[in-house]
């Protein structure tokens, strides 16, 4: 007697078929795993630098960096040779000055800063318009921004460019 064995192939379920509740658990498990196993050190050599409408920016953490232990943050450096672009967003972030001296105009008010200072952009109804200026023509100033992305989304995610950086060249 010939016995034929038949194995039924079970396909993996599409995550959308699992339902919302199960997807929440899966997402939280992925976040815990990333926190446990993600990179702890982001090297300066790994920062992605670009010249954009706001100025010369080096990105360390952002939504496209998927292998770091810390999630939900944008961290970037900004080199300011003369001045940055001017833009408005909800605020709710801090800037730590690592080099140079200058000032930031926040909603029309000048605020002076130098290396070691912390610039705090407040959350305000209608946003926080600001622009950064370097005072030393021989050396760029630099600061690092720390943005908790869920706060940015919770406060309306307003973002409007008012004036471009003098170094930006429109690629169009």
In the CATH scheme, what architecture does the domain 44-163 have?
A: Sandwich (2.60)
pLDDT digits (tens, 9 = 90+) for 13-38: 665 677 888 888 888 898 899 889 99
At 101, the pLDDT band (50, 70, 90 cuts) reads very high
| In the chain, where the domains are located | 44-163
Query: 64-71, long-range: CB within 8 Å, 24+ apart, which pairs?
Result: 66/34, 67/34, 67/38, 67/39, 68/34, 68/38, 68/39, 68/42, 69/34, 69/35, 69/36, 69/37, 69/38, 69/39, 69/40, 70/35, 70/38, 71/31, 71/34, 71/35
Neighbours of 102 (CB within 10 A): 21
**More confident: 23 or 4:** 23
Contact 93, 153 (CB under 8 A): no
For the stretch 66-97, pLDDT in tens is 889 888 999 999 999 999 999 998 888 999 99
More confident residue, 114 or 63: 114
Q: The whole model's pTM is what?
A: 0.81
Tokens of 69: 């232990």
What confidence category does residue 10 fall into, taking pLDDT thresholds of 50, 70 and 90? Answer: low
């Amino acid at each position: 007697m010939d016995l034929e064995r038949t194995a039924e192939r079970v396909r993996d379920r599409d995550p959308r078929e699992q339902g919302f509740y199960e997807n929440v658990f899966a997402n939280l498990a992925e976040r815990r795993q990333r926190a446990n196993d993600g990179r702890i050190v982001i090297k300066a050599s790994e920062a992605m630098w670009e010249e954009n409408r706001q100025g010369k920016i080096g990105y360390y953490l952002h939504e496209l960096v998927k292998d770091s232990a810390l999630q939900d943050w944008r961290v970037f450096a900004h080199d300011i040779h003369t001045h940055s672009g001017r833009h408005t967003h909800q605020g709710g972030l801090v800037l730590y000055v690592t080099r140079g001296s200058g000032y930031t105009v926040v909603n029309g008010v000048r605020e002076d800063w130098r290396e070691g200072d912390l610039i705090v952009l407040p959350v305000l109804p209608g946003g926080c318009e600001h622009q950064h200026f370097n005072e030393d023509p021989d050396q760029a100033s630099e600061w690092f921004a720390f943005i908790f992305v869920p706060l940015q989304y919770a406060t309306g995610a307003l973002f409007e460019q008012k004036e471009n950086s003098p170094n930006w060249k429109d690629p169009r």
